[in-house]
Structure 1
Amino acid sequence: MASAQDTAMGTNHGPKPEDREVPGVLIRLLELADVQLNGSRPWDIQVHDAALYDRVLRQGSLGFGEAYMDNAWDSKRLDETLYKLLSARLNTIKGFGKLRFLGAFLRNFLFNPQSRKRAFQVGEHHYDIGNDVYAAMLDPTMSYSCGYWKDAADLEQAQLAKLRLICDKLELKSGERLLDIGCGWGGLARFAAQNYGVEVTGITVSKEQQRFAQARCVGLPVSIELMDYRDLRGRFDKVVSVGMFEHVGPKNYPAYFATVGRVMVADGLFLLHTIGDYDHPRAPNPWIDKYIFPNGHVPSLQEVSKAIEHDFVLEDWHNFGQDYDATLMAWWKNFDLAWPRFADRYDERFYRMFKFYLNACAGYFRSRQGQLWQLVLSKYGRREIYRSIR
């Protein structure tokens, strides 16, 4: 993904913006979002290559994101530009953008993009690009999910508060066995083992994450396995999954929750931490699917509730999606400050790809299209009363 050959900068030899008339449909759509082309406000789009117009009309959000990577346009406040575009919900306007999303929708309806043989693709494509990049971007806990900013002053405090919140919601007790599905770089596993005295089994589909997590958990009762969740065996008192459910996909929800039910004891608790979409099920964003998280799917409220209603009791549903905005902007600040250390290994197009990714996601949560849910679930066999924690 980061090779010079694969990510060479666009040459921008297309027509100059002043030599090309802007399609009226684009002007009207941008007016709805209060965004102008070559305007004077920080969130206005500065066009460097008029080929941008055709790319957007032909390819929608994919062409828009790729044009940014190729330096065809810019913005002084990229996060605000994308926030305004998302808030205007331009993709819902009748007659615009529907056909471009039809192919992605049918792909997810007819096929299973998150099948067992595809399970490791996202690890290879995104999580394995380099632990040094993520170490520079994330906080010291290496948490790659939304922080909890209720009483936090910085990113590390927000992530430590999130880890503590999860452990307290799970009512972890010394000597219990905790399963961490999608354990990332082992931050939660390490925190829970050190502070709550539990034995942790973490699983990941990323070789780089496994290697890093194993090294940082040496001497603790923590095991980090490279495996698909469908291959899980054993019995656990508590189960947690943070930022992994977005890679499961609706066709696999029955298998996913059946796995949790099979390995969790009768009076156990399961905490599911996932991004959620405010709207009914939609096709994945094509740019995110191609460049960041292949085969991903952000669930809707309806999809989640339907998947759990027969097998689990919903003890708690907590939404703090607006905290993801602050988390993503903190990641972007860290990535941007650290970039000079990586510029000799990753080209400018890679830099612009990550900039677009982090700022677009911040806009997604700022617009409230994106939610962040923590669900606490129990099996019908649990008799103890659950007390919600905030």
Structure 2
Amino acid sequence: MTSDSRPHPIALPDTRARRVVERLLEGSGVGLNGSSPEDIKVYHPDLFSRILRQGTLGLGEAYMDGWWEAERIDKLAHRLLIHGLGERAHTNSERLMYRLQAGLFNLQSKARAWIVGEAHYDMGNDLFERMLDPTMCYSCGYWKEASNLHEAQLAKLELACRKLQLRPGMTLLDIGCGWGSMAEHAARHHGVKVTGITISKEQAKLAQERCQGLPVDIQLTDYRDLEGCYDRIVSIGMFEHVGQRNYDSYFATIDRLLADDGTFLLHTIGANSSHISADPWINRYIFPNGVLPSMRQIAEASEERLITEDWQNFGPDYDRTLLAWLDNLDTHWYQIAHHYDERTYRMFRYYLSVCAGAFRARNIQLWQAVFSRGLPNRYDAPR
């Protein structure tokens, strides 16, 4: 929808809810019905009460319903987060509900692990093919020397391969292989034999097609069911679905499958603290049961088993990656609009924009960590 075709914002209602929201926004640089890209254009009189009642869930759902708009939601999210409204925007009831669920149940058990595949990754390969670049990487690109998304994703894949010190003939296990980007790159350019696993039927189908003719075996399976021994293990953008109750079993699985002289590369979004929480809108609409790990949680789960050889943070690169995906989505949506409704389009726009703002605010991070059993020589990590 272009700015010319949007309805005019409504006159702001004179309600207590509106005044409370205005006080919360004071000093953030975000206005109501203003002309700045980050300003909120109000299209429904009940928006303010919905936000106060439902927090970030209400804010996201109201956007999906067309109750408000902003020219640059990423800038809006960035300003709100650096203003300190991120945690304050969660209601007490949603915090309590998630912590009760996470405390009483294993939200990422083997039986539940398939939920995110069905809800998000199986949504439609036609959508992701238009949103992502030709590598089909659905994780942060490496923009150190890249000038576009495709270069950044190729650089990320190559960076991971160099950190793993791949050599022809090695065996590589790719946990959470997605649409086969890492498996294809490692097999094609480094001569390794790859086993890739995913919990998404649509991902497995496309990955198998893309890797035809290469020494790549794509399996639809849970990481806990794996057997064998691998020279190298990699996991890119999957650990966010493991959950804090399973970190120990995850690293126990790595320990069981990794060769004595092997190395393991973990690429994951990370949280700044070890609090068990999830944004309720993201949890409901994008990544059900997803939890971001902290450095401490990863260290505690790995320390009795593996040695940390390297830890790199390039979280700011995710801001640029997400905006590139957003641009692709906006540019190509017309090609698939007949398959999806307007609410799905707005859901993806909101998700990509808000996450870009969160990485820009350094509210969340992107880590690549390399582990081993203890290499005989110094590990010099490529950058």
**Is the TM-score greater than 0.5?**
yes
Aligned to 2:263: 269
The Cα shift of 1:304 comes to: 1.4
The Cα shift of 1:303 comes to: 1.3
The count of residues paired between Structure 1 and Structure 2 equals 374
Contact 2:12 2:42 (8 Å CA) reproduced: no
Match of 2:57 among 33, 54, 62: 62
CA distance in 1, matches of 2:87, 2:290: 21
CA distance in 2, matches of 1:42, 1:369: 21
SS of equivalent residue, structure 1 residue 223: strand
CA distance in 2, matches of 1:108, 1:17: 42
The Cα shift of 1:17 comes to: 4.6
Match of 1:78 among 39, 61, 73: 73
CA distance in 2, matches of 1:100, 1:177: 44
Match of 1:45 among 40, 49, 67: 40
SS of equivalent residue, structure 1 residue 60: helix
Match of 1:367 among 345, 356, 361: 361
Change (3 A) 1:43 1:307: same
1:141-200 superposed Cα distances (whole Å, 9 cap, x missing partner): 100000000000000000000000000000001100000000000011000001100000
1:52-109 superposed Cα distances (whole Å, 9 cap, x missing partner): 111111110000000000000001111101111122221445x973443121122112
1:301-324 superposed Cα distances (whole Å, 9 cap, x missing partner): 221121111111000000000000
1:22-60 superposed Cα distances (whole Å, 9 cap, x missing partner): 523211111142211112211110100021111111110
CA distance in 1, matches of 2:315, 2:334: 31
Unaligned residue ranges in structure 2 (runs of 5+): 1-8
Aligned to 2:204: 210
Match of 1:356 among 316, 329, 350: 350
Aligned to 2:381: 388
Aligned to 1:247: 241
Aligned to 1:12: none
Q: Which moved more, 1:273-282 or 1:16-25?
A: 16-25
Match of 1:317 among 275, 293, 311: 311
Counterpart amino acid of 1:36?
G
Match of 1:342 among 336, 342, 346: 336
CA distance in 2, matches of 1:91, 1:328: 19
Counterpart amino acid of 2:45?
A
Aligned to 2:3: none
Contact 2:170 2:192 (8 Å CA) reproduced: yes
Contact 1:321 1:368 (8 Å CA) reproduced: yes
CA distance in 2, matches of 1:387, 1:338: 41
1:128 equivalent to 2:122? Answer: yes
Aligned to 2:142: 148
Q: Runs in 1 of length 4+ with deviation above 6 angstroms?
A: none
SS of equivalent residue, structure 2 residue 331: helix
SS of equivalent residue, structure 1 residue 18: coil
The Cα shift of 1:20 comes to: 4.0
Counterpart amino acid of 1:172?
L
What's the TM-score, normalizing by structure 1? Answer: 0.93
| Alignment of structure 1 residues 150-165 onto 2, 5 Å | 150-165=144-159
Contact 2:63 2:350 (8 Å CA) reproduced: yes
Change (3 A) 1:312 1:67: same
CA distance in 2, matches of 1:38, 1:30: 13
CA distance in 2, matches of 1:115, 1:18: 46
CA distance in 1, matches of 2:13, 2:21: 17
CA distance in 1, matches of 2:274, 2:20: 26
| Identical-pair percentage | 53
1:304 equivalent to 2:311? Answer: no
Contact 2:315 2:359 (8 Å CA) reproduced: yes
